[in-house]
Amino acid sequence: MKTPEQEKNDTYEEDFLKWDLASLSKEIKENKLSPVEVTKRLLEKIAAEDGKYNAFITVAAEEAMEQAKRAESEIQAGNIRGPLHGVPIAIKDNIYTEGITTTMGSAIFKDHIPDHDATVVKKLKEAGAIILGKLNMHEVAFGTSGDRSFAGPVKNPHDLNKITGGSSSGSGAALAASLCYGALGTDTGGSIRIPASFTGTVGMKPTFGRVSNFGVFPLSWTLDHVGPMTKTVHDNAILMNVLAGYDENDPYSIDKATEDYTALIGSDINGAIVGVPSSDFFKGGDPEVEKSYLQAIKKFEEAGAVIKSVNLPDMEEILAAFRTTLTSEAYTVHEKRLQDFPDLWDDEVRTRLVTSKDTHVTQYVDAQQVKRQAIREFEGIFEEIDLLITPTVPILPVNIGEREIILNGSKIHSSLVLNRYTGPFNITGLPSLSMPCGYSDKGLPIGIQLTGKAFDEANIYRFASVLENRLSL
C-alpha cells in the first residue's frame, strides 16, 4: 500500500506531464523538478500511449536522456540558459536532426539520417531544450489531412476516428495528448495552423523569412515556413523567441532585428482595431465554426477593441495563385524522385504531384503577379486595422480517409476546403496564428486565425493572450 506522500508524488508526476511549457520551465529553474525525471516519465508516457495516436515516427530516447542529464547538471550548477533549458520538445520529421532519422513521412526517406541539424534545431539545443524525437507528418508535407504517411495516419486525441489536419499532424497530436511540451511544425499552406485548429493547440506561422528554413526539407521554396506549436499562447511566444532570427544559410531569410515576443502579452487592446472580413467571406462553412468565430469577435469587443468590417482583396484569386505556386514548386522539388521511386509513394500524394507537372509557366508567372498585388493590398488594409480575424478552417475535423464532403449543398474534395483561409497568408507571407476558440457539440476543437502585418508577431500574441484569457477554455 502506498503512503499518502507517495500518492501525492504520483499525482504530481501525472500532473506535470500535462502542464504547459512555462509552468514546467519555472519548476525546473527553481530546482523543484528534475529534467531527467520529467524526460524519463514523458518517454514512458509516449511508449505507453502513442500507439493510440501514432504521433511519433522516431523516439530518440537515449539522446533525450543524455540531453536531460546534461541540462540537469548545468541547471544545478546555476548555469541556466533560458526558459527552454531542460524542457522536452518534439520535432516534425521534415526538419533535419543530426544522427536521428528524418523521414519526411515517406518510405523513400525511411533510412535517411542527416549529418547536420536544421538551424531551428541547433537553436533549440543551444537553448538547452531536450529533443524527444521526430513527429509523424503527411508524406513530404504535401497534404492538409495528415493521414497519409508511410508510418500510418495520425489520430486526433479528441476523437481517434478524426484527422488531426496536416501536414504537421504529429505535432498537433503530440501536444494534445501531452506527449511533449512544445513542437516544431512547418506551414506551406496551413500545415501548422490546420492541425492546431483541429487539436485545440496554438500554432504560429511567422512572417516569411523570420525563421530560418535551412535544414528543412522543402515542399515549396517561396511558401515554406517553420513555426512553433504549443499548448498556450505564452508558450508559443517563448518558443518563438528562440526560433526567430536571420540566418545567412537560408537565402530567403530576412535580416531584421528580432524582439521579445512575450513582451506585449498581458497588455490590453482597448481602442485597437480588429478587422472582420465582410459578410460574404464565410461562404457557408460549418455553423458550429461560425458560432465560435462570432463568439471570439464578441470577446474582442468586450475587451475594448473596435470591430471594423473590411473588404479583403479577391481571396479566391489569391487562393488560386497560392495553389498554382505550391503545386508547381512541389513538382519541381520531387520530379526526379517521382521517376526514380515510382512505387514508394503514397498513391494520393503521387497523383497530386504528377498532375502538377501540367501547370504552364505562364500560369506560374501570373500567380507571382497576383502575389505582389495581394501583398500591396494587404499592406493597405493593415494601415487601417491592427489585426485581422477569421476562422482557421471552415469545417470540423473529418474522418480519417474521408475526402468528399458536403459544403453549401455541394460535394467538394476536402483538400479544397481545409486550406481555404490559411493558404492566402502563405503566399503573402503575413504572420498568422491559430488558437482554440471553442468546441463543437461533440467535443471537437475549433480554431480562430489571427493575422497581422509583416513582422508583427508580438502584437498578434498580445491579442491572442487577451482572447485566451477571456475564453478560458
Catalytic residue of the set 34, 92, 145, 465: 92
Residue type, 249: N
Catalytic residue of the set 23, 106, 167, 169: 167
Residue whose C-alpha cell reads 501583398 in the numeric block: 375
Residue type, 456: D
Q: What is the DSSP string of 75-114?
A: HHTT----TTTT-EEEEETTB-BTTB---TT-GGGTT---
Handedness of CA 174, 178, 181, 187 (dihedral sign): positive
Per the rule left: phi > 0, alpha: psi between -120 and 50, beta: everything else, 443 is left
Contact present, 87 and 24 (Cβ < 8 Å) = yes
Whole-angstrom distance, CA of residue 194 vs CA of residue 50? 21
Kindly report the backbone phi and psi dihedral angles of residue 252, in degrees, each rounded to the nearest multiple of 5, phi listed first: -100, 0
Whether residue 167 lies in the annotated active site: yes
Residue whose C-alpha cell reads 476543437 in the numeric block: 445
CB atoms within 10 A of CB 51: 9
Catalytic residue of the set 191, 197, 356, 434: 191
Angle at the Cα of 90 from the Cα atoms of 191 and 454, rounded to 5 degrees: 45
Whole-angstrom distance, CA of residue 133 vs CA of residue 151? 15
- Active-site residues, by number, are 92, 167, 191
